[in-house]
Amino acid sequence: MFTLENIKLNKIVVSSTVIATALLISACSTTTRSVDGAVKYEVKDGKYTSYHVNTQKVVGKYNYGRTPTKTEIAAWDKDVMPDGTGLPEYDVKQGKIVLDDEGKPKKAEGSVEWGAELYDEQCAMCHGEFGTGGKGYPPLSASTASTASLKNQLLNPADENPGVEPPVKVIGTYWPYASTLFWYIQDSMPFPHPKSLSNSETYALVAYLLMENGVKIDGVALEDDFVLDKEKFLKIKMPNADGFYPNVDTPENPKKGVENIKAFLSNPKNYGTGTRCMNDCIKGDVPVLRIKNELNDFNPPASTERSWKEVGAKEVSQEQKNYETYCAACHANDAIGAPVVGNKDAWEEVVAQGMDAVYANGLNGINAMPPKGGSDLSDEDFKKVVDFMINSSK
């Protein structure tokens, strides 16, 4: 730790020449240079040049924690490799295998139907219904897309026929391995409370997302009753499994592209050579490429129609729908720190500030909460959601 010595101005004026001379002599005789070329001076009389240095010795040793136990390592070791290494066969809790009612290891497995239920509860609020994308979060599926869209390029507006359709990069068109889907979900999702899903729940979610992406397993299309487990998982072949190998006239074996790509790129005729240009590079009229699709929208828009109703189901208000869409991720989870809907004491403390302050905090954002909870609701609609949460917590 350094402390700059307090030297009075008159002493600096009087002794500036002496100090400069002393430093010059010191730099020439006792200095060295660090790896980046900077001058290094010796610590002398408890000072480094004009700075005081703490010369006290450290007593004892630094404590970097302890070695984790095997159980602790197993609880965090969730990586799953493309060859199936790390793929769980049984349900595990806190690093230990879960036993069924008969005392046998409980097999990890999940159906497409169960995965759909889990997705609606845990994922749809961010990634949209059926994985078609939410506000600010990426889409996970696109029913009409294929790997062919990956060849789409948004070309220069000056081109004669510029491209306007971007590549569609979702699970079924872009991801080369399903193993990434499994461990990423289990390790990082759901966003408000990661690492909360069991192995069986993760299998179910993977099965559902593969179904929404039209991925077949062993040539079989996935239906609601399809159950995914370790054995079936190892048979998954993603449509873009070979898409990350350069295809350089080697369609019969894409991996050869890695070997001959250097030879291909060594010949400029294969990809053209550029000409330097600093101004007036485009001759004639410059065509204007209009943005047809906004980046924050899904085209065509995902249908939100719900024409069917459960028998005897209660009518859900628009305020509740907006709460479940925009607010439940934080206000339905104790781990986030936001007042949970239904917690009377927590909301009484919030309301005690006065409703004007409550509305203002919600509209403008407070602490980790963004303005309006990150929604695009109008001020009046957002206030109705606040009223719903308060009334539901009385």
Domain 110-233 grouped into CATH 1.10.760.10:
yes
Query: Rounded distance, CA 320 to CA 322, Å?
Result: 5
pLDDT range class, residue 272, cuts 50, 70, 90: confident
- What confidence tens digit (pLDDT) does each residue in 282-327 have? 788 877 777 766 666 566 666 677 677 666 666 788 888 888 888 8
Q: Bigger pLDDT: 95 or 340? A: 340
Are the C-beta atoms of 323 and 330 separated by less than 8 Å? Answer: no
Does the pLDDT value for residue 16 go beyond 60?
A: no
Helix (H) or strand (E) holding 119: helix 112-122
pLDDT range class, residue 33, cuts 50, 70, 90: low
The two beta strands, 47-48 and 51-53, are: antiparallel
pLDDT range class, residue 4, cuts 50, 70, 90: very low
Domain 110-233 and domain 318-391 have a common topology: yes
Query: Rounded distance, CA 359 to CA 385, Å?
Result: 10
Does the pLDDT value for residue 191 go beyond 50?
A: yes
By mean pLDDT, which of 99-113, 214-228, 263-277, 350-364 is the weakest? 263-277
Query: Rounded distance, CA 8 to CA 11, Å?
Result: 5
223-245: b or e for each residue (b if 16 or more CB lie within 10 Å)? eeebbbbbebbeebebbbbbeeb
pLDDT of residue 22: 46
pLDDT range class, residue 38, cuts 50, 70, 90: confident
CB atoms under 10 Å from CB of 264, counted, come to: 13
Query: Rounded distance, CA 83 to CA 363, Å?
Result: 49
Does the pLDDT value for residue 107 go beyond 90?
A: yes
Point out which residues pair with 96 in neighbouring strands.
Answer: 93
pLDDT range class, residue 112, cuts 50, 70, 90: very high
- What confidence tens digit (pLDDT) does each residue in 118-169 have? 999 989 888 988 888 877 788 898 866 677 777 766 666 666 676 667 788 8
- What confidence tens digit (pLDDT) does each residue in 228-240 have? 999 999 999 998 8
Highest mean pLDDT among 163-172, 219-228, 341-350: 219-228
Helix (H, G, I), strand (E, B) or coil at 3: strand
| Helix axes of 355-364 and 344-351: crossing angle, nearest 10 degrees | 100
Query: Rounded distance, CA 345 to CA 333, Å?
Result: 16
Domain ranges of the chain: 2-53, 110-233, 318-391
What is the 8-class DSSP label of residue 317?
P
Listing DSSP states for 46-108 in one string gives TEETTEEE--PPPPS------PPPHHHHHHH-----TTSTT--SB-EETTEEPB-TTSSBPBP
229 phi and psi, to 5 degrees? -140, -175
pLDDT of residue 287: 75
Query: Rounded distance, CA 112 to CA 208, Å?
Result: 5
By mean pLDDT, which of 7-11, 117-121, 244-248 is the weakest? 7-11
Question: Domain 318-391 in CATH: superfamily?
Answer: Cytochrome c-like domain (1.10.760.10)
Which of 313, 322, 299 shows the shortest CA–CA distance to 376? Answer: 322
Are the C-beta atoms of 176 and 241 separated by less than 8 Å? Answer: yes
| Helix axes of 379-391 and 344-351: crossing angle, nearest 10 degrees | 130
pTM for the full model?
0.50
